[in-house]
């Protein structure tokens, strides 16, 4: 196991240590963090910490992190490259494919395909489980994923992502009965729920709540279903899904958030990452890349039953 050691800053004081640890340890999820606290592998100062322990300014936190599982290159996994430059890749992930493996031996993920395409990615990023991947998509969400091909590009693109400089747009299909306004802004905080599978809307300032803002506009209204474009520059986990559901407009096929199951979609939900754009820097050129929505979205919009 490898130790992570850091000093709590004044801005971090008062945060729960489990939340702070997931912020400080890239690639560490909430469930794995909880397991570390349960196993007594986290200390603040000279005391073993619980996940609910509050961070103290100036205190040193030490956590014994599990080694990350190295992903395996798998050339049998198809890869749809939309843009490739010497320093970055943008690929189109199909619905049903996980972005990264959960176990070292897992195959069939986007990362397995990326490593087969560009083996040097193994040395890029924070984790050898998702090397070079700047942001992820849910397994049942399709569309564009940005990947850095060297460490400097990774750092630049990650800063752009965190600063909200990446223009990330999504296409979603929601019920026409929701009667959404032509456009709008959903400014509702999101927080983990009691289930590890979903998030919920929360009051701003509530424990573990993150401010989240989604802009949307109606693209096309069909008899039964409506196509919506959503923009979320600081996308929290499940943000577009939870925000649209909060307006009574859950995604088609997204049963987790109250959406109706649709035969046209199979196991997926109707969310597609349709555009990535960035203005670039002097050393890393920008880009504008688009991906057409799946044919199933059009089939839903044409339904009148």
Enzyme catalytic residues: 138
- Are the CB atoms for 284 and 208 separated by under 8 Å? no
Q: Which residues pair with 271 in a beta bridge?
A: 172
CA distances to 128, 138, 218, 287 from 143, in Å: 23, 10, 19, 16
Q: 30 is written with which tokens? A: 């909430």
3-state secondary structure of 94: coil
Task: Report how far residue 146's alpha carbon sits from residue 132's, in angstroms, rounded to the nearest whole number.
Answer: 9
Q: 242 is written with which tokens? A: 């939870």
3-state secondary structure of 268: coil
Task: Report how far residue 237's alpha carbon sits from residue 257's, in angstroms, rounded to the nearest whole number.
Answer: 13
């Amino acid at each position: 196991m490898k130790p992570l050691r850091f000093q709590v800053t004044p801005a971090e004081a008062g945060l729960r240590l489990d939340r702070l640890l997931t912020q400080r340890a890239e690639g560490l999820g909430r469930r794995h963090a909880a397991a570390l606290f349960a196993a007594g592998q986290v200390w603040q100062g000279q005391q073993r910490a619980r996940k609910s322990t509050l961070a103290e300014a100036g205190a040193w936190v030490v956590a014994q992190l599990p080694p990350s599982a190295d992903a395996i290159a798998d050339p049998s996994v198809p890869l749809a490259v939309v843009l490739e430059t010497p320093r970055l890749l943008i690929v189109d992930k199909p619905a049903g494919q996980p972005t990264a493996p959960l176990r070292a031996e897992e195959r069939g993920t986007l990362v397995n395909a990326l490593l087969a395409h560009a083996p040097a990615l193994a040395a890029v990023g924070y984790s050898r489980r998702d090397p070079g991947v700047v942001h992820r998509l849910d397994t049942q969400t399709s569309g564009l994923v940005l990947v850095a091909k060297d460490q400097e590009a990774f750092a630049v693109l990650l800063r752009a992502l965190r600063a909200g400089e990446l223009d990330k747009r999504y296409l979603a299909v929601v019920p026409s009965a929701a009667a959404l306004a032509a456009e709008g802004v959903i400014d509702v905080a999101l927080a983990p729920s009691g289930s590890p599978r979903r998030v919920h809307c929360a009051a701003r300032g509530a424990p573990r709540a993150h401010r989240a803002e989604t802009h949307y506009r109606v693209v096309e209204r069909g008899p039964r279903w409506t196509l919506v474009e959503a923009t979320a520059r600081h996308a929290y986990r499940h943000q577009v899904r939870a925000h649209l559901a909060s307006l009574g407009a859950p995604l088609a096929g997204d049963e987790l958030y109250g959406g109706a199951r649709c035969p046209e979609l199979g196991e997926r939900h109707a969310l597609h990452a349709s555009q990535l754009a960035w203005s670039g820097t002097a050393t890393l050129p920008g880009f504008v890349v688009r991906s057409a929505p799946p044919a199933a979205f059009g089939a839903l919009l044409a339904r009148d039953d």
